[in-house]
Amino acid sequence: MKYALVTGGSRGIGKAVCLELSKQGYGILINYISNRHAAEDTKTSIEQQGGIAELIPFDVADNNAVDSTLTTWMETHPDDFIAVLVNNAGIRKDALMIFMQNEEWSNVIRTNLDSFFHITRRLLKDMLSNRFGRIINIVSLSGLKGLPGQTNYSAAKAGVIGGTKALAQEVAPRKVTVNAVAPGFIDTDMTKDMDENTLKKMIPLGRFGKPEEVAALVGFLASEQAGYITGEVISINGGLYT
**Interface of this chain with ligand NDP, residues 37 to 56, rule: CB under 6 A:** 38
Site string for ligand NDP, 59-78 (x = CB under 6 A): xxx-----------------
Q: Where are the beta strands (DSSP E) in the chain?
A: 2-6, 27-30, 53-55, 81-87, 133-138, 176-183, 233-236
Name the one range near ligand NDP by CB under 6 A: 67-75, 89-97, 98-106, 128-136. Answer: 89-97
Nearest to 111 by CA among 7, 208, 16: 7
- Binding-site member from 3, 4, 18, 32 for ligand NDP (CB under 6 A): 32
Q: Please indicate whether residue 153 is annotated as part of the active site.
A: yes
Q: If binding is defined by CB under 6 A, does position 188 make contact with ligand NDP?
A: yes
Using CB under 6 A, count the residues that bind ligand NDP.
30
One DSSP character per residue, 139-198 reads --HHHHH--TT-HHHHHHHHHHHHHHHHHHHHHGGGTEEEEEEEE-SBSSGGGTTS-HHH
Nearest to 15 by CA among 69, 113, 65, 89: 89
For the chain, how are helix, strand and coil distributed in percent, rounded to 5?
50, 15, 30
Q: If binding is defined by CB under 6 A, does position 27 make contact with ligand NDP?
A: no
**Interface of this chain with ligand NDP, residues 98 to 157, rule: CB under 6 A:** 111, 138, 140
Report in angstroms how near the CB of residue 41 gets to ligand NDP at its nearest. Answer: 10
Report in angstroms how near the CB of residue 228 gets to ligand NDP at its nearest. Answer: 25
- For residues 85 and 138, which CB has a smaller minimum distance to ligand NDP in the complex? 138
- Residue 136's alpha-carbon distances to 17, 21, 96, 143, 168, in angstroms, are 11, 12, 29, 15, 11
Q: Name the active-site residue from 26, 32, 153, 228.
A: 153
Instruction: Catalog residues that contact ligand NDP under the rule CB under 6 A.
Output: 7-8, 10-14, 31-35, 38, 59-61, 88-91, 111, 138, 140, 183, 185-186, 188-191
Please give the positions annotated as active site.
153
